[in-house]
Each structure stands twice: as structure tokens, then as C-alpha cells.
A = this chain, B = another copy of it.
């Protein structure tokens, strides 16, 4: 087996790790999906190391075969140090250094949504086909990654695209960050579930009232909306409006060629994504400028089996 001919890309989350092993031509050789034990920093590092080892084992490779390892982390990352990743209990943790030591390979650590943008750019467009791309990820949280002139734009503190806590309406519900009416309070998975819970506690009629509010999921909320439930429908419509607004800020602010939509909430092709596309279509119909700035082909939905995070991570090497 050729030396230093393979690359690993990991997408590390608070509950699971996904990873791929690719060869020099960027063909996928192996993939893995493993549970994340996030009870302590040490366990998190062990979980990451175990995923890397699983990928090596499944292709019968030694660590000497690795050209490098790219890792996407849900948090603020600056020069390989995880400054803050609440779901991984990491604060100023030198993850790049630690993994380099363990695997004797070059390691690059970066924010997960930033590199997902890179993954979309490299895999769906092929570097060079377009110059500017924004990737909007809506899941438990909301954030974006932006490629400008073919390069990842990080900003001064590596926080460019952290739009989840823009206060879109101060009359909205209180967000985890303390402020009222953040984008995430209206439009993230956790924000939508919290809105539903609050309405149910206040006695709003809904088919969701049959579910224990403490275990309500976005999946159940979307199913209720699809089934015509008024409360669930309102929550989805409001969220869609704010996701559409975020998409407009990205397009108008950066003047990108494409905006790609991803993340757990927008993977729901039957409810949320159509609601967002309808909101944008209504806007186009009302305004020639909007129709010009937001043509249909500007908005890209990811293939359902494509995880941009692992590809972007592999692309870091």
C-alpha cells in the first residue's frame, strides 16, 4: 500500500461521529458512523480516535498510510484549537495537536459548518466552477459557511456565518443565549420544538397534545404540520419565513452565485424545505428585484445521501 496516500474526513457531532476514508483521487474507500460519548473531554477524544481507528481497520491500513486527517467540530475553532464547543465540553482544547500526536499524521481541525461549505463547494461544484458560495445549515442550531473567491471566509475570530443569534424579532421567545427572538428561537429544530411546547403548555389545541412535551421531536412536529395541524403548521410557516430571510441576507450580503441548504431540519424534504421554497417564491412574485436576485437555480438542495461535513473535512488536507 502506498505511503501517505489516504485522507480521513470526520464530521464530529454532540451525539455521533461520521467519517470517510478517501484515496488521493478522492474516491471513498471506507465510511463509518459511530456514537459519540460526550460525557467528558477525554471520552470525546477517545470517541474521535476510535472512529479514526475504525476507518483505518476497515480498509486494512496503518496510520503510516495517512496523508492527513481533517476534523469538523461544532464550535469555535482558531488555528487548530477548539476555543469553545459546548456539546463536546471543550474549551481551549488543542485538538489538532492531540490527534497529531496520536496518529503521527497531519491533522486539521475546523468548524463543522465552515467545512461543510467547503465540502459542498468542492464536491458539488468542483473548485473553480463558481467563485462564491454560501451554505446555510439549519438543524439543532443555525449557522452558515461562506466560500468567497474560492476560499473559506473565516473572519477575524473564525465566527463568520454564526448567524443563529441575530435577533430577528425582540418580541420572540427567549433563546438559550439569553436574548429574545434570535433566529434560532424561531427557526432551528430546538427553537421550533420549544415554541410547540410553550403553546401546548398554554393549552393550544393540537394533535401534538397527545405527546409528552418533554420528548417532542421536530420529526413529530413536521408530521403534524404535514397532517394539517394548525399549531404545527404555524410554527413551520414562521420558521420557513425566517430561514428564507437568512437566505436573503446571505445572498444580498455576500452576492454569492449559489446558496446551498443543508442540516437536519432542511433534510426534511416533505415539509420544511418546500415551506422555505414557497416563502421565496412568494417573494419573487411580489418583486422583480427579488426575482432577479433569487432565481430558482441560485438555491441548491443537497443530495439526501451527501454529508458535506465529511467531504469538507477530507478536503482540508
On A, residues with C-beta under 8 Å from B are 130-132, 144, 146, 148, 153-163, 165-170, 175, 177-180, 241, 244-245, 248-250, 252-257, 282-283, 286-290, 293
B287 A165 Cβ-Cβ under 8 A: yes
Measured CA separation A255–B159 after assembly (Å): 6
> A255-B155, A255-B156, A286-B178 known; A248 and B148 CB under 8 Å?
no
> A179-B287, A290-B177 known; A255 and B163 CB under 8 Å?
no
A284 to chain B, nearest CB (A): 9
B289 A255 Cβ-Cβ under 8 A: no
A84 to chain B, nearest CB (A): 10
Of A146, A154, A178, most buried by chain B (CB within 10 Å of CB) is A178
A202 to chain B, nearest CB (A): 22
Measured CA separation A252–B130 after assembly (Å): 24
A245 B167 Cβ-Cβ under 8 A: yes
A77 to chain B, nearest CB (A): 13
B167 A248 Cβ-Cβ under 8 A: yes
Residues of B within 8 A of A249 (CB): 163, 166, 249, 253
Residues of B within 8 A of A131 (CB): 156
22 contacts between A and B (CB under 8 A): A148-B153, A153-B254, A154-B255, A155-B254, A155-B255, A158-B255, A159-B293, A161-B252, A162-B252, A163-B252, A165-B289, A167-B248, A170-B282, A175-B287, A177-B290, A178-B287, A178-B288, A178-B289, A178-B290, A179-B283, A179-B289, A249-B253
A289 B177 Cβ-Cβ under 8 A: yes
Measured CA separation A152–B183 after assembly (Å): 28
A270 to chain B, nearest CB (A): 24
A252 B159 Cβ-Cβ under 8 A: yes
B166 A248 Cβ-Cβ under 8 A: yes
> A162-B255, A166-B245, A250-B253 known; A156 and B132 CB under 8 Å?
yes
Residues of B within 8 A of A148 (CB): 148, 153
A252 B166 Cβ-Cβ under 8 A: yes
